[in-house]
Amino acid sequence: MMIREAMISDAEDIAKVHVNCWRTTYKDIMPDEVLERLSYEQRIELWNANLSTEDGHLVYVAENEKGEIIGFVSGGPEKSGEYPPYGGEITAIYVLSEYHSLGLGKRLFLRLLQHFNSMDIHSVMVWVLADNPACTFYERLGAKPIVEQHIINMGGKNLNMVAYGWLLFR
Protein backbone atom coordinates (compact mmCIF):
# COMPACT_ATOMS: atom_id res chain seq x y z
CA MET A 1 0.00 0.00 0.00
CA MET A 2 1.30 3.41 -0.92
CA ILE A 3 0.51 6.92 0.33
CA ARG A 4 1.07 9.80 -2.08
CA GLU A 5 -0.07 13.35 -2.72
CA ALA A 6 -3.27 13.49 -4.76
CA MET A 7 -3.37 14.89 -8.28
CA ILE A 8 -6.26 16.48 -10.20
CA SER A 9 -6.59 13.24 -12.17
CA ASP A 10 -7.49 11.47 -8.89
CA ALA A 11 -10.71 13.48 -8.37
CA GLU A 12 -13.04 10.79 -9.75
CA ASP A 13 -11.52 7.98 -7.67
CA ILE A 14 -11.47 10.13 -4.51
CA ALA A 15 -15.13 10.99 -5.11
CA LYS A 16 -16.03 7.30 -5.37
CA VAL A 17 -14.23 6.50 -2.12
CA HIS A 18 -15.91 9.49 -0.48
CA VAL A 19 -19.44 8.46 -1.48
CA ASN A 20 -18.88 4.76 -0.75
CA CYS A 21 -17.43 5.51 2.68
CA TRP A 22 -20.32 7.81 3.57
CA ARG A 23 -22.76 5.07 2.62
CA THR A 24 -21.07 2.50 4.86
CA THR A 25 -19.86 4.72 7.73
CA TYR A 26 -23.06 6.69 8.19
CA LYS A 27 -25.55 3.90 7.34
CA ASP A 28 -27.05 3.76 10.83
CA ILE A 29 -26.37 7.42 11.66
CA MET A 30 -27.89 9.42 8.80
CA PRO A 31 -31.29 8.94 7.21
CA ASP A 32 -31.23 6.53 4.24
CA GLU A 33 -32.53 9.18 1.85
CA VAL A 34 -29.50 11.39 2.53
CA LEU A 35 -27.13 8.57 1.66
CA GLU A 36 -29.16 7.53 -1.38
CA ARG A 37 -29.03 11.09 -2.77
CA LEU A 38 -25.24 11.15 -2.70
CA SER A 39 -23.87 11.58 -6.18
CA TYR A 40 -20.51 10.62 -7.62
CA GLU A 41 -20.86 13.50 -10.08
CA GLN A 42 -21.32 16.10 -7.33
CA ARG A 43 -18.36 14.73 -5.39
CA ILE A 44 -16.22 14.71 -8.55
CA GLU A 45 -16.96 18.44 -8.94
CA LEU A 46 -16.10 18.99 -5.27
CA TRP A 47 -12.80 17.13 -5.53
CA ASN A 48 -11.84 18.81 -8.80
CA ALA A 49 -12.31 22.15 -7.02
CA ASN A 50 -10.48 20.99 -3.87
CA LEU A 51 -7.52 19.68 -5.84
CA SER A 52 -7.32 22.86 -7.93
CA THR A 53 -6.91 25.33 -5.07
CA GLU A 54 -3.57 26.50 -3.75
CA ASP A 55 -4.52 27.58 -0.24
CA GLY A 56 -2.34 25.22 1.78
CA HIS A 57 -5.06 22.57 1.65
CA LEU A 58 -3.61 19.21 0.68
CA VAL A 59 -4.95 15.75 -0.10
CA TYR A 60 -3.12 12.45 0.23
CA VAL A 61 -4.40 9.16 -1.13
CA ALA A 62 -3.76 5.53 -0.19
CA GLU A 63 -3.43 3.09 -3.05
CA ASN A 64 -3.63 -0.69 -2.95
CA GLU A 65 -1.16 -2.95 -4.74
CA LYS A 66 -3.17 -2.53 -7.98
CA GLY A 67 -2.80 1.27 -7.83
CA GLU A 68 -6.46 1.79 -6.93
CA ILE A 69 -7.31 4.60 -4.52
CA ILE A 70 -8.76 3.04 -1.37
CA GLY A 71 -8.59 5.96 1.05
CA PHE A 72 -7.70 9.61 1.42
CA VAL A 73 -7.11 12.40 3.89
CA SER A 74 -7.47 16.14 3.32
CA GLY A 75 -6.72 19.16 5.40
CA GLY A 76 -5.25 22.58 5.60
CA PRO A 77 -5.15 25.69 7.76
CA GLU A 78 -8.14 26.04 10.11
CA LYS A 79 -10.14 28.91 8.61
CA SER A 80 -12.75 29.88 11.19
CA GLY A 81 -10.32 31.14 13.83
CA GLU A 82 -12.90 30.15 16.46
CA TYR A 83 -10.81 27.45 18.12
CA PRO A 84 -7.38 28.75 18.98
CA PRO A 85 -4.77 27.39 19.29
CA TYR A 86 -5.72 24.93 16.55
CA GLY A 87 -4.01 26.12 13.39
CA GLY A 88 -4.77 23.14 11.17
CA GLU A 89 -7.89 21.19 10.33
CA ILE A 90 -8.42 17.71 8.95
CA THR A 91 -11.41 18.11 6.66
CA ALA A 92 -11.85 14.47 5.65
CA ILE A 93 -10.30 11.08 6.25
CA TYR A 94 -11.85 7.97 4.76
CA VAL A 95 -10.69 4.42 4.03
CA LEU A 96 -12.90 1.86 2.28
CA SER A 97 -14.32 -0.58 4.85
CA GLU A 98 -12.59 -3.63 3.36
CA TYR A 99 -9.24 -1.95 4.14
CA HIS A 100 -10.00 -1.05 7.77
CA SER A 101 -7.69 -2.29 10.54
CA LEU A 102 -4.60 -2.26 8.31
CA GLY A 103 -3.18 0.99 9.68
CA LEU A 104 -3.99 3.03 6.55
CA GLY A 105 -6.00 5.66 8.40
CA LYS A 106 -3.12 6.21 10.80
CA ARG A 107 -0.61 6.38 7.94
CA LEU A 108 -2.75 8.94 6.11
CA PHE A 109 -3.15 10.96 9.32
CA LEU A 110 0.61 10.95 9.99
CA ARG A 111 1.38 12.01 6.43
CA LEU A 112 -0.97 14.99 6.76
CA LEU A 113 0.67 15.90 10.07
CA GLN A 114 4.03 16.03 8.25
CA HIS A 115 2.47 18.52 5.84
CA PHE A 116 1.14 20.62 8.72
CA ASN A 117 4.55 20.55 10.38
CA SER A 118 6.17 21.82 7.15
CA MET A 119 3.68 24.72 7.25
CA ASP A 120 4.67 25.44 10.89
CA ILE A 121 1.23 24.31 12.07
CA HIS A 122 1.56 22.33 15.30
CA SER A 123 -2.01 21.93 16.50
CA VAL A 124 -4.78 20.27 14.52
CA MET A 125 -8.50 19.67 14.89
CA VAL A 126 -11.16 17.61 13.17
CA TRP A 127 -14.98 17.77 13.27
CA VAL A 128 -16.71 14.41 13.43
CA LEU A 129 -20.28 13.23 13.95
CA ALA A 130 -20.67 12.36 17.64
CA ASP A 131 -22.16 8.95 16.75
CA ASN A 132 -19.40 8.10 14.30
CA PRO A 133 -17.38 5.04 15.35
CA ALA A 134 -14.29 6.91 14.08
CA CYS A 135 -14.30 8.90 17.34
CA THR A 136 -12.37 6.03 18.93
CA PHE A 137 -9.89 6.15 16.02
CA TYR A 138 -9.10 9.79 16.83
CA GLU A 139 -8.89 9.07 20.55
CA ARG A 140 -6.43 6.22 19.92
CA LEU A 141 -4.31 8.72 18.00
CA GLY A 142 -4.21 10.97 21.07
CA ALA A 143 -6.97 13.45 20.23
CA LYS A 144 -8.93 15.10 23.00
CA PRO A 145 -12.50 16.36 22.61
CA ILE A 146 -12.56 20.15 22.36
CA VAL A 147 -16.27 20.86 22.09
CA GLU A 148 -19.51 19.09 21.23
CA GLN A 149 -22.01 21.25 19.41
CA HIS A 150 -22.43 22.30 15.83
CA ILE A 151 -25.74 20.52 15.39
CA ILE A 152 -26.46 19.90 11.74
CA ASN A 153 -29.69 18.74 10.17
CA MET A 154 -29.40 15.94 7.64
CA GLY A 155 -32.60 14.71 6.07
CA GLY A 156 -34.70 15.97 8.97
CA LYS A 157 -32.47 14.40 11.62
CA ASN A 158 -30.39 16.54 14.00
CA LEU A 159 -26.84 15.28 14.38
CA ASN A 160 -24.30 16.43 16.94
CA MET A 161 -20.72 17.11 15.96
CA VAL A 162 -17.63 16.79 18.14
CA ALA A 163 -14.38 18.63 17.54
CA TYR A 164 -11.26 16.69 18.49
CA GLY A 165 -7.84 18.27 18.74
CA TRP A 166 -4.15 17.47 18.96
CA LEU A 167 -1.56 19.78 20.54
CA LEU A 168 1.32 17.43 20.18
CA PHE A 169 3.96 17.95 17.59
CA ARG A 170 6.84 20.24 16.71
Domain harbouring 132, CATH code: 3.40.630.30
Q: Note if the bond before 145 is cis, omega within 30 degrees.
A: no
Q: Tell the burial category of 39 from Cβ atoms under 10 Å away from its Cβ (0-12, 13-18, 19+).
A: exposed
**6-43 confidence digits (pLDDT tens):** 999 999 999 999 999 999 999 999 999 999 999 999 99
- pLDDT value, residue 54: 78
Mean pLDDT of 65-82: 94
The share of the chain scoring above pLDDT 90, in percent, equals: 78
Pairing of strands 124-129, 58-63: unpaired
**Taking the CB of residue 135, how many other CB atoms lie within 10 A of it?**
16
- pLDDT value, residue 86: 93
Taking every pair of Cα atoms in the chain, the longest distance, rounded to a whole number of angstroms, is 44
Query: Considering the entire predicted model, what is its pTM?
Result: 0.92
Q: How many structural domains is the chain composed of?
A: 1
- pLDDT value, residue 55: 77
* Domain interval for residue 126: 2-166
